[in-house]
Amino acid sequence: MNTEIKLGLCNPPEPVYLYVKNGEISGESYLWYQYDINNDKTIPVQLRGVTGYLSELRVTAKEYKGKDNIKLDIVVTSDEVYIIRTGIETNFAKTFLLAASLVQDFSKPLIISVTAGEENTVFCRLYDAATKVKLRREWNPNADWASIIHDIQCLLDAVVTQSQANVHPQDLNNSKFKIQNAK
């Protein structure tokens, strides 16, 4: 893999976190945002989609106001590494998981987008990046979410196994795909 390295000033290669929320700041509505922890500031993101390769799902516990909140981190490799963080029980997480469960080949890029529902609700729309076809699975509030995550993870593991057979290990750039339960 021969990639040209741009020399000069740059930002460190840290992931870009995107958070899901139907919110408004100064009359400007948004559906996802970045958070500047150093300045305790929400930064709205106006673009509604990110195109890239789903590379990892992580289920993690994050403390918020003294309580553990279970989060789903959707890791997307693109021009940057994007981590879309959302509550595991949100409509966004569930609509993402239902749509992603239809994908059979994660070696192809996807478009993950946000769309507003009623009140504060945000839904995920998932598209095949090449054909722009929306992937949609019928809503099932009683779906076995843990099994869906496991099945997606197995397909992601297959992509890694295939790429390890074709790519030098140094080129994989830390692409271990595991569901991490941090508790």
* Largest CA-CA distance found in the chain, in angstroms, rounded: 52
- pLDDT (tens digit per residue) in 4-14: 888 998 888 89
The pLDDT confidence band at residue 156, using thresholds 50, 70 and 90, is: very high
Number of residues assigned to the chain:
183
Q: How far apart are CA 77 and CA 73, in angstroms?
A: 13
Let me know if residue 175 belongs to a domain: no
Let me know if residue 54 belongs to a domain: yes
What's the structural domain count of the chain?
A: 1
Let me know if residue 46 belongs to a domain: yes
Let me know if residue 115 belongs to a domain: yes
- Domain carrying residue 101: 16-166
Let me know if residue 159 belongs to a domain: yes
pLDDT above 80 for 176: no
- pLDDT (tens digit per residue) in 38-92: 899 999 999 999 999 999 999 999 887 888 899 999 999 999 999 999 999 999 9
Q: How far apart are CA 73 and CA 81, in angstroms?
A: 12
The tokens for 13 are 């290669």
The secondary structure of residue 14, as a DSSP letter, is: P
What's the whole-number mean pLDDT along residues 127-155? 95
CA dihedral over 48, 74, 104, 177, signed as positive or negative: positive
